[in-house]
């Protein structure tokens, strides 16, 4: 039985073109700056985001932590979204590794309330630690994939910059956001000081992340990456896949189209879906209207070769990606119909 795995876009496997590029990649010792394929990917990343410099790291988590280590000092405070990955899903590295205190601000629709943000830009005083970084995420919330607009990013950057606080964008899925809004990544990140990107999600690379920003910050991040154990040698084997991915990232539009089709049809069947929140490749499903818990729903689907991720008592996530063809969506829908009717 062929398994259709919609739990995440991290399950995507490198394409044939990537594997060929990896096989043929010219490599060298990247820690010594001798790997031409890594250098090429980093140059592409800098250009993509309109930044001076770029660094390839092993993972989104490593990029996030290297960025915070490079942009803050121990004992500082930083602002994060309460639903963000950097705050919830990185083993408290902000506390354990960076030694900063996170001020988590609630969010409902992916936006910071600017008034609340400003209250959290704290100045150093006898009893207070200064806020020295504002973190954003785009797309925001790994269970929804909400697009954060350039307008909102720019107003957050303006508020932070007026207090001389830089902005870091965790852009694990930022190319999904850029494609969904039909805007160039460099334009979207124009005012964001530093930005990251995951190569190993919808972009289908096996490993890797990029971190782009001012040369001074990226030089520091390179040392922090080394400290985190992320100095790698013939990493061109990995970078080669990234080059293929960046050359063809417009295909993410197909994943968004599949997600919209999937969501609309699931809604027709009676499942709870907020179509306004289906903005990229992620579909959040409420199973309560059909009388099944998330675990029951996922178990029944699994028996039919479809994998989805339970994310709450009645909440399930499905993510569309390169290894789920448009025609596979029909198979998913057929199985869901059987599960609901059973
Ligand atoms: C996946 C993800 C990360 C972490 O990436 P890894 O490569 O899994 O470490 C960070 N931030 C966001 C928003 C993500 O979705």
55-108 confidence digits (pLDDT tens): 999 999 999 999 999 999 999 999 999 999 999 999 999 999 999 999 999 987
User: Number of C-alpha atoms within 13 angstroms, CB side, residue 305?
Assistant: 12
Q: Using most ligand atoms within 8 A of CB, pick from 63, 80, 85 the residue to mutate for ligand 1.
A: 85
| Residues in contact with ligand 1 (CB, 6 Å cut-off) | 59-61, 64, 85, 137, 142, 170, 172-173, 198, 200, 209
* C-alpha distances in Å from residue 180, one per residue of 151, 175, 183, 200, 208: 15, 8, 8, 19, 22
Averaged pLDDT, 224-235: 98
Q: Using most ligand atoms within 8 A of CB, pick from 11, 60, 64, 177 the residue to mutate for ligand 1.
A: 60
Atom of ligand 1 nearest to the CA of 84: 13
**Separation of 60 CA from ligand 1 center, angstroms?**
4
Atom of ligand 1 nearest to the CA of 61: 9
pTM listed for this prediction: 0.97
Atom of ligand 1 nearest to the CA of 58: 7
Helix (H, G, I), strand (E, B) or coil at 32: helix
**Percent of the chain at pLDDT exceeding 90:** 97
Which pLDDT band holds residue 18 (cuts at 50, 70, 90)? very high
pLDDT at residue 110, rounded to an integer: 76
* Own/partner long-range contacts of 115-121 (Cβ < 8 Å, ≥24 apart): 117/79, 117/156, 117/159, 117/160, 118/159, 120/77, 120/79, 121/79, 121/159, 121/160, 121/163, 121/165
* C-alpha distances in Å from residue 328, one per residue of 5, 145, 184, 324, 337: 11, 21, 30, 6, 14
Averaged pLDDT, 199-225: 98
* C-alpha distances in Å from residue 286, one per residue of 23, 197, 281, 304, 306: 43, 29, 17, 20, 17
**Separation of 169 CA from ligand 1 center, angstroms?**
12
**Separation of 268 CA from ligand 1 center, angstroms?**
32
* 283-324 pLDDT, tens digit each: 999 999 999 999 999 999 999 999 999 999 999 999 999 999
CB atoms within 10 A of CB 340: 18
**Percent of the chain at pLDDT exceeding 70:** 100
Distance CA 332, CA 297 (A): 13
- The residue written with tokens 């770029």 in the block is 54
């Amino acid at each position: 039985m062929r398994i259709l795995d919609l739990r995440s876009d991290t399950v995507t496997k490198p394409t044939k073109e990537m594997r060929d590029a990896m096989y043929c990649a010219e490599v060298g010792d990247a820690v010594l700056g001798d790997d031409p394929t890594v250098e090429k990917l980093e140059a592409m990343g800098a250009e993509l985001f309109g930044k001076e410099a770029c660094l390839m790291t092993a993972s989104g988590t490593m990029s996030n932590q290297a960025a915070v280590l490079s942009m803050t000092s121990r004992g500082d405070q930083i602002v994060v979204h309460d639903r963000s990955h950097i705050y919830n899903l990185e083993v408290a590295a902000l506390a354990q590794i960076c030694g900063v205190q996170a001020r988590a601000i609630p969010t409902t629709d992916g936006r910071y309330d600017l008034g609340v943000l400003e209250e959290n830009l704290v100045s150093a005083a006898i009893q207070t630690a200064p806020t020295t970084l504002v973190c954003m995420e785009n797309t925001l919330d790994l269970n929804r994939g909400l697009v954060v607009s350039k307008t909102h990013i720019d107003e957050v950057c303006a508020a932070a910059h007026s207090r001389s606080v830089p902005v870091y964008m965790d852009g694990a899925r930022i190319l999904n956001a850029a494609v969904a809004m039909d805007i160039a990544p460099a334009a979207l990140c124009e005012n964001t000081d530093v930005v990251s990107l995951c190569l190993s999600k919808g972009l289908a690379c096996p490993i890797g992340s990029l971190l782009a920003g001012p040369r001074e910050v990226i030089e520091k991040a390179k040392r922090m990456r080394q400290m985190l154990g992320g100095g790698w040698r013939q990493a061109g084997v990995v970078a080669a896949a990234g080059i293929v991915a960046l050359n063809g990232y417009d295909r993410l539009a197909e994943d968004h189209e599949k997600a919209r089709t999937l969501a609309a049809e699931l809604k027709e069947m009676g499942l709870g879906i907020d179509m306004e929140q289906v903005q990229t490749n992620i579909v959040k499903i409420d199973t309560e209207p059909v009388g099944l818990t998330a675990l029951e729903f996922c178990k029944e689907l699994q028996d039919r070769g479809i994998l989805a991720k339970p994310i709450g008592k009645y909440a399930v996530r499905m993510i569309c990606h390169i290894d789920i063809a448009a025609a596979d969506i029909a198979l998913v829908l057929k199985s869901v119909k059987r599960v609901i009717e059973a």
